[in-house]
Structure 1
């Protein structure tokens, strides 16, 4: 089972890192499936709209809800997230060298969201890279049975991890 995660320290840094890593791999001809977050700042609210790009070619889907300026708490639109999950699952079966999931978040910790797609990819022998925050680290560790590797939040470290997988797969073929 080849599953790894990365945690970048700044707000939105994991999103930028995974998006850039996915673009780099796709430019090399690697078949990448999954979703990366591409946020945009909402006009005057101080909050960002959460947009996710389905890999490799889109679409981009807004997964946040506008709950008004006084709203607190989670703005995730669970229906939009499930739409993204369905698109990623369908593309996974067309073949992939890597599944990238922008975040193992609250929904995944609760058994929903990308959780079944991650399990599906692993059962197909497709490596998985997940963005994570420390709030969901314990749930992710339980989900991955403690077998996930932590990769430092740098494109070079992600590249070395992926190249190591390709070397392992080539040696076993």
Structure 2
């Protein structure tokens, strides 16, 4: 059998679809795996231009804000890089405690610039732990510069992701 890359990136799907898929998969895996990472959640505020909300830890359930609420009349969106860095620190600590799989909501604007969850990605790669993430089309060049050729691109399909996990999961 050919070697399978330990990093899987979901592409070509809306962010909400990917986060719902990741949430469903991690809920299923939670009983049999030690998970580390964060998933994006909506902020639930009405009439906001900014869709960024929170990152929720898969290990502790803690929520980290990733937006600055500029109010309902604002047309701007401001990511809170500090909240995302705090989430990345928590994920790095979870990886250091031991995990089977790291799921990171996405590699986006902050990560492309070297910030955001980039430290969590680095920690997972250094630990040799499989990583599941997503990346939008606009950030593919930065993703490829960061991770190529050590990743496999997957569609937003639970069966394909489950097959990837079965292929990279360490033997008991």
> TM-score, normalized by length of structure 2?
0.88
SS at structure 2 position matched to 1:91: helix
Q: Given that residues 50 and 78 in structure 2 are in contact (C-alpha distance below 8 angstroms), is that contact kept between their aligned partners in structure 1? A: no
User: 1:71-86 counterparts in 2 under 5 A?
Assistant: 71-72=75-76, 74-86=77-89
In 1, Cα distance between equivalents of 2:127 and 2:15: 32
Q: Which runs of 5+ in 1 are unaligned?
A: none
Aligned-residue Cα RMSD (Å) equals: 1.9
Partner of 1:53: 56
Change (3 A) 1:11 1:162: closer
Paired residue total:
167
Report the alpha carbon displacement of residue 63 of structure 1 after superposing the two structures with TM. 1.1
- Find the residue that maps to 2:116 and give its secondary structure: coil
CA distance in structure 2 between the aligned counterparts of 1:31 and 1:88, rounded to whole angstroms:
12
CA distance in 1, matches of 2:15, 2:90: 26
> What is the CA distance between 1:11 and its match in structure 2?
4.5
Residue of structure 1 equivalent to 2:22: 18
CA contact (8 A) 1:41 1:49 kept: no
Gaps (5+ residues) in structure 2? none
